[in-house]
Chain A
Amino acid sequence: MSTDTQHGESSLLIQLQHGLKREQFERALHDIRTGWKRRELWMTLGLQDVRQRYRRSKLGPFWITLSMAIMVLALGLLYGQIFGQDLHDYLPFLAAGFVIWGLIASLVNDGCQSFILAEGMIRQLNAPLSIYAYRGLWSTLIAFAHNIWVFLGVALWFGVDLNWNLLWVPVALLMLFLNGLWMALFLGLLSARFRDVPLIIGSVVQVLFFITPVIWKPDMLPGRALWLDLNPFYHLVEIMRAPLLGQPPVLGNWLTVIAITIIGWAVALFFYSAYRWRVAYWV
């Protein structure tokens, strides 16, 4: 084994040249496709991740539900007072927002960890890399399935108008996960190479929580500021929150989310086909 040194940057560029060949792009697509076919494996692993976190506790994964319920109630009562809101209106809004935000935040944050956490397996198993991204999405979906009951409870209690608009919810959910997948592939890749990324993303998500209308309503903003519409997370939250609260979908929100999805996938596919082959060396 001989060692020599070279500039990090140039090596990244050399890798990029290797990765930008046409066959690498096909391999990346193949990786995502065959990863999907191994769903029995990643579903089992995802479920195992959730179980592991709550094992031997009395409530098990229902701690997810309970802590969400406590959070919604406590913040709902407090901020309802601060903002002078009618609880009938405010609490369902907050519950829906919180549940959706929990989903989005976990898609982003867990997405960063998709390859880092699978270090041992990546170096020993010749399975498509994308299974580790799918695995994270699956645990997020399981957590969401526990959280959504908090919203349903609040909605039933306050008599929210649950109507045909609810049919948009599964479509919105699919859309969010489609975005979650490119985030897991792209952010996972980036984080495997640069270990600061998960930390940076973590604090950005925290700030975004306050900038995005989750605990406050868009109409509380005087004159509906421009930067509300510029915040992609507002649209991601809104496509799902509106139908949950019985409101019809807004075209602008959907168009923005579709644009985010397309751009996100284009960027993710570019980097995934360029650097996917290096991930096993990076972790």
Chain B
Amino acid sequence: MASITLENVSVSFPVYSASTRSLKNRLIQSATGGQIRADTVSQRISVVQALQDINITLEDGDRLGLIGHNGAGKTTLLRVLGGIYEPNSGRVEVQGSTVPLFDIALGMNQESTGYENIVLRGLFLGLSRKKIHAMMDEIAEFTELGDFLDLPIRTYSAGMQMRLAFAVSTSVVPDILLLDEGIGAGDASFLHKARERLERFTERVSIIVLSSHSEDLVRSMCSKSLLMEHGRVVFAGPTDEALERYRAMRGW
């Protein structure tokens, strides 16, 4: 049983400049107290209100799309769901194993071989070494990289690296999957095979939250969507309606 509950979640970001990050400036600031008012104004920290009063409830089988402009708060929301950002206020309750797949190549090392990188990616996904070795053959076979797997991946083409990352990342099925702009799969010849695997993979995940600018992708994967603007949810409901409103918002 996987579930996600967000209640009145708000997130604000401090935006630090070099001067506010400097301990010296902070010390001088506190030493001079409120005396130099004119100066302290320039030392204020800007705060970006990235999410405001978000309420979401998701249960098994839910596929939620997040749509909105750049900077509407989609990625921040994904990070809150993944437990990376703890909100300033509000309640977050997530049940089930969560895997944020924002960058499927995260942690891959250019100097290590393909096999070593399979292990590394697997460890990042929370698998044990033993489990990874048990799945190694299946993953290696899927990548069709053959002997290349014994070479450092800096010798690979971008497409080959993509295949490797894709194969490992889709080998463990989490309860909750968080996606930023879907999962890329590399070159065209591989695409068909990848799509099949991706479908089998996503079918078994119990909750998916997908943030994307691609209307087709959201429509094909998600039945429900949230339309976001300025860190707020402007509309929640069927994907088609959300996309329509999004278009109207952009003035189409």
Contact = CB atoms under 8 A, between A and B. Distances in A.
Chain B, interface size category, equals 35 or more
A127 B190 CA distance: 31
A195 B230 contact: no
A187 to B, nearest CB: 13
A57 interface: no
A88 interface: no
Given A1-B72, A8-B43, A123-B79, A194 B48 contact: no
B22 A196 contact: yes
Chain A, interface size category, equals 35 or more
A41 B124 contact: yes
A180 to B, nearest CB: 22
B107 A122 contact: no
Interface in B17-45: 18, 20-24, 26, 29-30, 40, 43-45
Interface stretch (B56-64, B81-89, B181-189, B200-208): B81-89
Given A3-B47, A124-B100, A125-B106, A8 B20 contact: yes
A8 B14 contact: yes
Contacts of A125: 84, 100, 106-107, 124
A86 interface: no
Interface string B1-22: 0000000000001101010111
A124 B45 contact: no
A40 B112 CA distance: 16
B158 to A, nearest CB: 19
A40 B21 contact: no
Chain A interface, DSSP helix/strand/loop, else mixed: helix
B47 A4 contact: yes
A186 to B, nearest CB: 15
A18 interface: yes
Given A40-B128, A121-B106, A124-B84, A194 B23 contact: yes
Interface string B69-91: 00111000001001111101000
B49 A4 contact: yes
Contact of A5 (B46, B88, B231): B46
B84 A5 contact: no
Contacts of B126: 38, 127
Contacts of A195: 18, 21-22
A51 B111 contact: yes
Contacts of A126: 82-84, 98-100
A18 B18 CA distance: 26
Interface core residue of A3, A52, A280 (most chain B CB under 10 Å): A3
B50 A1 contact: yes
Interface of A: 1-9, 11, 18, 38, 40-41, 44, 48, 51-52, 55, 120-127, 193-197, 200, 277, 280-282
5 contacts: A8-B44, A38-B123, A125-B106, A126-B83, A281-B14
